[in-house]
Amino acid sequence: MSDYTDPGVAYAVAWLIFLPFLLIFALAGYLLTSWFLMKIFDKAGVQGRWRAWVPVYNTLIFVKLGDLNPWWLLILWGAGAVLSWIPVLGQLILLAAFVYTLLAAWRVGLKLQKEAVWLILYFFLSIVWLGINAFDKSRWNTAIPAAPWATNFLADKTVWQGVPVQAPAGGYPANPVTQPAPGAYPPPPAGYQAPPAPPAGYTPPAPPAGAPVPPPATPPSTPPAATPPTAPEPPAAPPVDPDAPRI
């Protein structure tokens, strides 16, 4: 009887009871996530549905669709696993890996007509975010402004067979934030400083005395309106002789 009251034995028994439920829950989560990724990959034009069912590889494809280099995510995962025995450092590396997937989800969401606010749902319930994007009526569209990291080492430069290249055929459209529309004032050059505002009560100086003052501009005179010609009066009838015979 004393063995069952030992804390270590009670802990082991609890694990034996709950471990099957944990395995079932993890398997169900994996199956749902892979199914949703398969639907998203179909929208993106990824060839081969089997890619969505391979662990790790399906997440690398998801990151690649989000315009990020997938090898950096693999490096972060590996570093987090190797350095997990170091307090805080291993957890920070794994947190960086999650932020990496969060950035990819932002870009994938933009291509599926989702605003950035949808990342809140991905942060707390990524499986629900995947399910909504998998089965709603959104269509894949790569014609969005380039990612902020498009010119640095995070940009996706890999070419994988069966995974479409995400750069638009005609190039990325202009970003309205960094590239204003034609006709708008261009942004000031780097290092430009606006002139200081005049102090309170400042009045501009008067022109020097004796300076010729230009006459006020007079509007051009308009010619008088032409008088329409009057119609000629009809001829007067001749007088009638009262003694003339009438017909």
Q: Which pLDDT does position 19 carry in this prediction?
A: 80
Q: Which pLDDT does position 1 carry in this prediction?
A: 47
Alpha-carbon distance 51 to 162, whole Å?
Answer: 9
Alpha-carbon distance 18 to 13, whole Å?
Answer: 9
Q: 68: helix, coil or strand?
A: strand
Q: Which pLDDT does position 15 carry in this prediction?
A: 74
CB contact at 8 A, 73 and 60 = yes
Six-digit token string for 243: 């003694």
**Residue 100: other Cβ atoms inside 10 A:** 20
Q: Which pLDDT does position 210 carry in this prediction?
A: 61
Q: Which pLDDT does position 150 carry in this prediction?
A: 92
Number of H helices, E strands in the chain: 7, 0
Q: Which pLDDT does position 235 carry in this prediction?
A: 61
Six-digit token string for 28: 């169900």
Please, what's the largest Cα pairwise distance for the chain? 164
Alpha-carbon distance 41 to 52, whole Å?
Answer: 7
Q: Which pLDDT does position 14 carry in this prediction?
A: 74
Full-model pTM: 0.68
Strand locations in the chain (E)? none
Residue ranges in the chain modelled with pLDDT below 70: 1-6, 176-192, 194, 207-247
Q: Which pLDDT does position 147 carry in this prediction?
A: 94
Alpha-carbon distance 164 to 159, whole Å?
Answer: 8
